[in-house]
Structure 1
């Protein structure tokens, strides 16, 4: 286990020989440790690095401006990067919005860019309003807790994340800088036919304008949590996607 001194990066299975570092941005309110078990379903060639957003726990109220969070995460990624290792960003739910802004920060200030960006269950930044607003409603809490028995450890954890969920929503409601030119990396979007937070899966195609490279949307049966409840399936999808884009036969 590697934990960066600033607390923002968590690598459950460090591997200096891995060709790819998979940067996982968490869904609303979640902590980096939720990705720990996912790393066991990846091949040795892919090293999972989970992002611990700093607006969590007692530090939550210290963050009034989203730019503070973006800069902190981006700088931590730069500080702890490995030479020659390819970077793939993966954002689940609104984690994709955090990933988008970190990629934008890196492009504007450094020569570092992801080699691929894989999104799951998230509206494009310019269409995010309804998805982000829903995070602050009682209906959102009802959905998030409905999968677990009341007073179970999982149920209580979900309840404990609600302040961070609402803070994420408030941060992501702030105006985002427009994308003046598309990114040059490939962009893949995973979605489902019955996503509780993306009303129409056709909306996922709005991400196409964010890249000048290859773009695809892949839809699956199930709901918003298809990957979170089935980690082996999600990691299989990510592995296949990474290998096809970065190491084509």
Structure 2
């Protein structure tokens, strides 16, 4: 298993590998969602290949068992990921998706494999503050209402069967979030860029300050929009993601 081997088709990635881009951006979805959260994102941004990651137990991998914990997810992702680390790359994780993105970067370092040139964190407090996520204390009725709101926000009328499947995925993902505990920060060698969505009522810039303990270079940037507006691939966000090439 080497980083120079040719990329292969894998259920972990919804798009086949492209060989003509000089860099890659691996995108980690938030709790209750899958790679389709990035369906509005172009396949490439300024010659950076966009690679949405598909976690087990949802969408095209619904028949597979849930990944379990963020640490298990990171460990399982390494083998399919490593064949795509043949060029510079970065990780982008939105909300709770930033946590397995971080754990994957930690795992790559532990295995002495190439690491990301940058970790982009979107709307998510640092690992040692992750237990403060408001969704972890919501009732199932509140979670269902939240899910329906997000689906409608994407221009889709939620059917009962769709909501039932979505709730099953969300509850399993929230169980993983509740089980996640990293009391002491682990510093990454790469810079971390933390994105605060200006209209996000639940995550403030102060909530994001904890990330400064995880790398020598940590920058907090404010972007226009609400918590889920990343799905619309706003130009401001895409330009920021490619500004560190």
TM-score by length of 1: 0.80
Q: Give matches, 1:154-193, under 5 Å.
A: 154-156=157-159, 157=162, 159-178=164-183, 181-193=186-198
1:240 equivalenced with 2:240 (yes/no) = yes
1:239, 1:222 → 2: CA distance?
A: 15
1:9 is aligned, of 13, 16, 25, to: 13
Q: SS at 1:112's partner residue?
A: coil
Query: Residue 41 of structure 2 contacts residue 233 of structure 2 at CA under 8 Å; is this kept in 1?
Result: yes
Q: Which residue of 2 aligns with 1:74?
A: 78
2:149 is aligned, of 139, 146, 149, to: 146
The offset of 1:227, in angstroms, is: 1.4
Q: Which residue of 2 aligns with 1:100?
A: 102
Q: Which residue of 2 aligns with 1:204?
A: 208
1:6, 1:41 → 2: CA distance?
A: 19
Uncovered stretches (5+) of structure 1, i.e. residues with no partner: none
Aligned length: 232
The offset of 1:202, in angstroms, is: 1.2
Q: Which residue of 2 aligns with 1:58?
A: 63
The offset of 1:52, in angstroms, is: 0.7
2:222, 2:187 → 1: CA distance?
A: 23
Inter-CA distance 77–216: structure 2 relative to 1 (3 Å threshold):
same
**Deviation digits for residues 61-98 of structure 1 (CA, Å, limit 9, x no counterpart):** 5x4444332211122101x2252x11110001111011
Query: Residue 85 of structure 2 contacts residue 114 of structure 2 at CA under 8 Å; is this kept in 1?
Result: no
Q: SS at 1:10's partner residue?
A: coil
Q: SS at 2:146's partner residue?
A: helix
Q: SS at 2:158's partner residue?
A: helix
**Deviation digits for residues 47-69 of structure 1 (CA, Å, limit 9, x no counterpart):** 011111113323235x4444332
Q: Which residue of 2 aligns with 1:35?
A: 38
Inter-CA distance 112–179: structure 2 relative to 1 (3 Å threshold):
farther
2:223 is aligned, of 217, 220, 224, to: 220
2:71, 2:152 → 1: CA distance?
A: 37
TM-score by length of 2: 0.81
Q: Which residue of 1 aligns with 2:131?
A: 129
Query: Residue 128 of structure 2 contacts residue 182 of structure 2 at CA under 8 Å; is this kept in 1?
Result: no
